[in-house]
Amino acid sequence: MDETTPHLHVDFVPVATGQSRGLSTRVSMKQALKQQGFESLGRKQTEWKAWMEREKVSLKEIAQIHDFEIISLGGGRPHMDLPEYRAAAQRLEVVQEQVAAAEHDIAALEKQKKELQGNVKLLKAVELVKPDLEAIQPEKTLTGAVKGVTVEQVKELKAAAIRGAAAEQKVQELKAENQRLQQKIPSTKEKLKEAQERQRLENQNRKLLVQVECLEQELEQERSFSDRLLDGVSAVMDFLDQHLPEKFRPLVERARALLPVSEVQQPEQEKERGHTWGGMEI
């Protein structure tokens, strides 16, 4: 098993036994599966696919005995080559990191926004209750001094005026910072949206790769069957050409002409130990 991608390598040779024609035991996927009770129900459910589904169930049962759990992702993919899987996993990991980073930025900005809004409210409240120095008109003595006001009170009034001016400046700065952050949030959300769209396209692309691979496998099975069929027909033609009387030769040639030219094998000289037909010696 791979340390990061658990998988199994299974090698097998399908063998059919008890054959009535030719060799009694021979290599044959179709016949071997048929003897195990797997029948083809069409292209969508061949004996091979039925056998694969049975093997998956058996593998899950064996894994459970050994305290392993096989989780199906529901993608419908029969299998994926290791380099292809690792490349897809790396792309997905990058997209997920981008999504996580965008979500983290949005959360941080939202937190800063709430903090700034709280500070603005507090400073506005301070601004409302600060002394209006211009409205204070204390009574003065004959010498011009302020009557009933101590030096400490005058200092405190000056300090309050300074704090009020600083608070106003802070309010303006916080408003500007809040506005800047408000403008940045849509941009960050747009980045998150783009990252999510890329992830959706990655998932869609993997599904398309699954469909292409399945179609290629079905096409390869059809080609293999067609090649075996043509080989068998060609072998029959050769056999008939060697053993039929001369008067039937034209019929054989007509039948041979119906086959694809590239697949038709010309008659060979009869071998000393018999004639080969579809991999069997007659």
Residue 80 sits in the same domain as residue 203: yes
Residue 145: pLDDT over 60: no
Residue 13: pLDDT over 80: yes
Residue 21 sits in the same domain as residue 91: no
Give the tokens for residue 188.
Answer: 């960050």
Residue 60 sits in the same domain as residue 82: no
Average pLDDT, the chain: 71
Model confidence at 150, pLDDT cuts 50, 70, 90, reads low
Q: Tell me, what's the pLDDT at 261?
A: 53
Contact status, residue 138 vs residue 149, Cβ threshold 8 Å: yes
The residue that leads in pLDDT, 161 or 244, is 244
Residue 89 sits in the same domain as residue 197: yes
Q: Give per-residue pLDDT as tens, 124-143.
A: 655 555 555 445 555 555 45
CA angle 11, 43, 58 (to 5 degrees): 40
Residue 264 sits in the same domain as residue 174: yes
* pLDDT > 70 fraction of the chain, expressed in percent and rounded: 66
Residue 83: pLDDT over 60: yes
Residue 98 sits in the same domain as residue 218: yes
Model confidence at 77, pLDDT cuts 50, 70, 90, reads low
Residue 64 sits in the same domain as residue 79: no
> Cβ contacts of residue 213 below 8 Å, gap of 6+?
77, 78
Number of domains in the chain: 2
Residue 246: pLDDT over 70: yes
Q: Tell me, what's the pLDDT at 65?
A: 92
Residue 6 sits in the same domain as residue 142: no
Q: Tell me, what's the pLDDT at 123?
A: 62
- Could you give the residue ranges of the DSSP H alpha helices within 36-150? 47-65, 82-129
Average of per-residue pLDDT across 31-37: 84
The residue that leads in pLDDT, 33 or 278, is 33
Please identify, among 71, 102, 125, the residue that sits at the C-terminal boundary of a domain. Answer: 71
Q: Give per-residue pLDDT as tens, 174-223.
A: 777 777 777 777 777 777 778 888 888 888 778 877 777 777 777 778 77
C-alpha neighbours within 13 Å on the C-beta side of residue 164: 14
CA nearest to 138, candidates 148, 129, 128:
148
